[in-house]
């Protein structure tokens, strides 16, 4: 019996201290933190783990340098210190990366202003950023980026953030949580809850077998990301915005470091990623299906236009786009303003006794958000447990990571697929191709790789030819929304 089947079967009629709704980075962080303190935890997600925002981000741990220009120093300081902490706790998923920020005559931010900003950025990291920032002359910037040919170039700055693998960060948090006793169930939809004394009695539907289970818990935590305000009983109100990323061959845009590009107030990046470079992101209001935010021709044209203005000789066109991903930011709703102006600060609120809604926030600050949420729910529910240790203990101690979990996709091997099937709650080909490995966005022939993966999964799960072919077709259909 596979790991997901065991987990869901163990939910029925059990009593937990905490039920977490949502298997993205916030839910995973809360489950890990709570279980590490000795609380009994169950986590459910109606889709796969990291299905939504947490596998469709820019894959960066960053302080948010653009927030300096908005005067949000507290947010920058908070995120800057957390990015270093995550690097210490999850070293296999953090790749320190220099960022080159070119400046131009009549640009929005002159070089002198950015020079002051990046030094302040270093200070807000506690003086221990991944590397020291510096100011670059026009010639120094051209030496580092010879493809940047604009005669308006005045120089720029170089500063440090880090690259990560967002979905792997979720999965590894859940592997650590499961090690400490958390019951993790994907494809398990929360359908409602009723009061049970001071606690809750919840119903959960296994969407694969169409079987309903009941869970009793002292506390419910709604961490469903873009779905948070659609959870029965939720007290949240969101303003989702869409972000699109495009993947191209590294040789088509061979940037040595990440490059910051601007269009009005919006910042976009060109980020090196092994044999690939990915570009993004957009930030537009969204009111379509949450499961399938599309990457439109307009989105592609917008991103490529910005890139081609900076790298005039690149001449990137739609045919150069190998793949794309589109994600939604579950921003707390505020009236008016542009999407890019909405604060990324998180909120943790108790809607009614022992029901907590967690919304907003950033990938970088997930651990802090989890710590604060568990502190609050333990205090209000009167739960006893140890103090928080998530900021001082390495995440994957005792768990395998080699050739399984890293910033870059692992080699395509049967051993890796066997691991994901046996230990990481995999049910479908797309779970492996998109979220466990990113092979969908990285390998030269993802459809052929999906066929190989399906064959190995068939050996693991006993699929017949019909089931294997169905999985391959469902994988291909899922890619239609991601280009």
For the domain made up of 3-54+167-237+343-381, the CATH class stated in words is alpha beta
Residue 353 CA to residue 350 CA, distance in Å, equals 7
pTM for the whole thing?
A: 0.95
> CB-hemisphere CA count at 13 Å for 33?
25
Q: 129-182: per-residue pLDDT in tens? A: 999 999 999 999 999 999 998 889 999 999 999 999 999 999 999 999 999 999
Segments of 26-79 assigned E as strands? 41-44, 60-61
CA–CA separation, 405 and 390 (whole Å): 19
- 390-258-54 Cα angle (round to 5): 40
Instruction: Give the pLDDT score at 335.
Output: 54
Q: What is the pLDDT of residue 67?
A: 85
**What average pLDDT score do residues 89-117 get?**
95
Which pLDDT score, from 0 to 100, does residue 1 have? 36
- Pairwise CA distance, residues 107 & 152, whole Å: 9
Q: Which fold has domain 240-332?
A: D-Amino Acid Oxidase; Chain A, domain 2 (3.30.9)
Query: How many Cβ atoms from other residues are within 10 Å of residue 132's Cβ?
Result: 12
Q: What is the pLDDT of residues 422-475, one digit of tens each?
A: 999 999 999 999 999 999 999 999 999 999 999 999 999 999 999 999 999 999
Is residue 254 pLDDT above 70, yes or no? yes
Q: What is the pLDDT of residues 176-209, one digit of tens each?
A: 999 999 999 999 999 999 999 999 999 999 999 9
Pairing of strands 153-163, 95-104: antiparallel
What would the pLDDT profile of 282-297 be if each residue is shown by its tens digit? 999 999 999 999 999 9
CA 325: distance to chain centroid? Answer: 12
Contact (Cβ atoms closer than 8 angstroms) between residue 481 and residue 295: yes
pLDDT at 337: 53
Mind listing the pLDDT tens digit for each residue in 214-243? 999 999 999 999 999 999 999 999 999 999
**Cα gap 221→358, rounded to integer Å:** 7
- Provide CB contacts within 8 A for 215, sequence distance 6+: 11, 12, 14, 16, 19, 42, 44, 201, 202, 203, 204
9-43 pLDDT, tens per residue?
A: 666 668 999 999 999 999 999 999 999 999 999 99
Q: Where are the domains of the chain?
A: 3-54+167-237+343-381, 75-163, 240-332, 414-482
Q: What is the pLDDT of residues 327-367, one digit of tens each?
A: 999 988 765 556 555 556 789 999 999 999 999 889 999 99
443 Cβ neighbours under 8 A, 6+ residues apart: 409, 412, 449
**146 secondary structure, DSSP code:** T
């Amino acid at each position: 019996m596979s790991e997901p089947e065991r987990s869901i079967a163990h939910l029925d009629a059990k009593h937990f201290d905490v039920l977490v709704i949502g298997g993205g980075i916030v839910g995973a962080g809360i489950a890990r933190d709570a279980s590490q303190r000795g609380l009994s935890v169950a986590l459910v997600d109606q889709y796969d783990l990291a299905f939504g925002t947490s596998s469709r981000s820019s894959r960066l741990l960053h302080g948010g340098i653009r927030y300096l220009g908005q005067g949000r120093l507290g947010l920058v300081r908070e995120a800057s210190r957390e990015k270093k902490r995550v690097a210490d706790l999850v070293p296999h998923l953090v790749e320190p990366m220099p960022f080159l920020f070119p400046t131009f005559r009549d640009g929005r931010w002159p070089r002198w202003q950015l020079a002051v900003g990046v030094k302040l950025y270093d200070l807000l990291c506690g003086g221990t950023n991944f590397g020291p920032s510096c100011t670059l002359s026009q010639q120094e910037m051209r030496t580092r980026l010879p493809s940047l040919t604009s005669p308006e170039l005045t120089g720029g700055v170089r500063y440090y953030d880090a690259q990560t693998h967002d979905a792997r960060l979720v999965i590894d948090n859940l592997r650590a949580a499961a090690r400490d006793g958390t019951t993790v169930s994907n494809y398990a939809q929360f359908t409602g809850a009723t009061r049970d004394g001071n606690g809750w009695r919840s119903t959960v539907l296994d969407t694969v077998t169409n079987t309903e289970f009941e869970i009793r818990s002292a506390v419910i935590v709604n961490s469903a990301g873009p779905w948070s305000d659609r959870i029965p009983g939720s007290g949240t109100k969101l303003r989702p915005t869409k972000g699109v990323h495009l993947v191209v061959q590294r040789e088509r845009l061979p940037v040595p470091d990440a490059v910051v590009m601007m269009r009005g107030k919006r910042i976009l990046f060109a980020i090196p990623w092994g044999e690939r470079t990915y570009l993004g992101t957009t930030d537009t209001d969204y009111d379509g299906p949450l499961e399938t935010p599309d990457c439109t021709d307009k989105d592609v044209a917008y991103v490529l236009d910005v890139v081609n203005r900076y790298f005039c000789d690149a001449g990137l066109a739609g045919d150069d786009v190998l793949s794309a991903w589109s994600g939604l930011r579950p921003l707390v709703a505020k009236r008016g303003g542009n999407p890019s102006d909405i604060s990324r600060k998180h909120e943790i609120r108790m809607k009614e006794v022992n029901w907590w809604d967690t919304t907003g926030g950033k990938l970088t600050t997930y651990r802090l958000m989890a710590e604060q949420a568990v502190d609050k729910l333990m205090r209000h529910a009167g739960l006893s447990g140890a103090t928080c240790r998530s900021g001082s203990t390495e995440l994957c101690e005792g768990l395998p990571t080699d050739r399984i979990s890293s910033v870059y996709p692992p080699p395509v091997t049967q051993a890796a697929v066997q691991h994901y099937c046996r230990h990481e709650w995999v049910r479908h080909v797309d779970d492996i191709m998109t979220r466990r490995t990113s092979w969908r966005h990285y390998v030269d022939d993802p459809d052929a790789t999906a066929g190989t993966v399906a064959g190995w999964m068939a050996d693991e799960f006993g699929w017949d030819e019909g089931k294997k072919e169905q999985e391959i077709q469902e994988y291909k259909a899922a890619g239609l929304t991601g280009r």
